[in-house]
Amino acid sequence: MNTASAAVLFNEENGEGENESELDIVRTKRLSLKPMDSEEAVLQMNMLGHNFFIFEDAETNGTSIVYRRKDGKYGLIETD
């Protein structure tokens, strides 16, 4: 089952068929994660003008996310 089918099935099972919900996913993107360190990820995020950037941590091989905080500094989320 693809993502769109799963989303439709979920909405139908929860009675949300035609009514729009604030939680509806309106766009899906598929990414290829590139190995890099967190500094390179921040540079890529800034170059793209995004508030977050998902990447493969070159040291741990795990998926990580860098993001811009409200105070203008950066945060890092690491997965297990």
Highest mean pLDDT among 8-12, 18-22, 72-76: 72-76
| Domain count of the fold of the chain | 2
Q: Are residues 25 and 39 in the same domain?
A: no
Taken as a whole, the chain contains a residue count of 80
Phi, psi torsion values for 52, nearest 5 degrees: -150, 165
Query: Taking the C-alpha atoms of 79, 21, 10 and 54 in order, what is their torsion angle to the nearest 10 degrees?
Result: -20
What pLDDT does 35 receive?
A: 97
Per-residue pLDDT of 19-51, as tens digits, reads 567 899 999 999 899 999 999 999 999 999 999
Q: Are residues 12 and 51 in the same domain?
A: no
Expressed as residue numbers, the domain containing 8 is 1-29
Q: Are residues 19 and 42 in the same domain?
A: no
Average pLDDT of the chain?
Answer: 84
Average pLDDT, stretch 51-67?
A: 96
> Cα 4–9–15 angle (5° rounding)?
125
Q: Which amino acid is at 2?
A: N
Q: Are residues 38 and 63 in the same domain?
A: yes
| Alpha-carbon span 26 to 11, nearest angstrom | 13
Q: Are residues 3 and 23 in the same domain?
A: yes
